[in-house]
Structure 1
């Protein structure tokens, strides 16, 4: 008798790397500096686009909070979707849906898209509530910066299939 065994849970999807960063610190050595560089570049581009005076001063005041809360948003979204994937993989196993491969099926793609969107929403909320709340900027500028950070720094690497 031949059995077809599928080992979906042995594969690490790209979005779970954020969540497993705490368990395997070597991931953090790659993720933290990469996130810092991306957040720095996007923040400086947003300052340039909004024609903000004293870009360097604003950057120095906000980059660490921007970076920390951005990583926290990615981590939270990844953790939520890792937990959901554990429960849903059993549900979809009979339907031959692999949530770890974003382009393998429509449910997998939608699952990954939901994870990216959730992270973007967290980034926006954290930017508005914790990073820019106390600074004397126009509300429109705060919203544009928060939205720009959410859209441009959402963890699109979650769309990469596992290695």
Structure 2
């Protein structure tokens, strides 16, 4: 299957803040009747807020990426990461064969989409991705110091 990686990167980069807000609204509207359980904030037991769970965010993320033609040629699996707020993406050999600049652009786009899915725009450095091979070797993702610092191996 042939996929235009520059086209995917361009598509992902088209989401300005207005579009991201519209996308979040659309994702919420397409969710089933399931509701997010309220959770008590530790600092104020009288204040109840709705929090998006990791499984809800992963579901939204997978649904969003599945709408992009050819994404399955680049990402073979998405699952919860090692820490809260982290998504682990298994990349394909086709992804690894691309020039580093293209992989970096795509990784940044994948991270931005994950931020939108988690609702983590207010604290982007806590939202992370981890890119791994099918053997589990890490080949990129968020840096330790901040989730927004994305890299890919040479």
Q: TM-score, normalised by structure 1?
A: 0.33
TM-score, scaled to structure 2: 0.34
Name the structure where strand makes up a greater proportion of residues. 2
Highest relative contact order (Cα 8 Å, sep 6+), 1 or 2? 1
Q: Compare CA radii of gyration and give the structure with the larger one.
A: 1
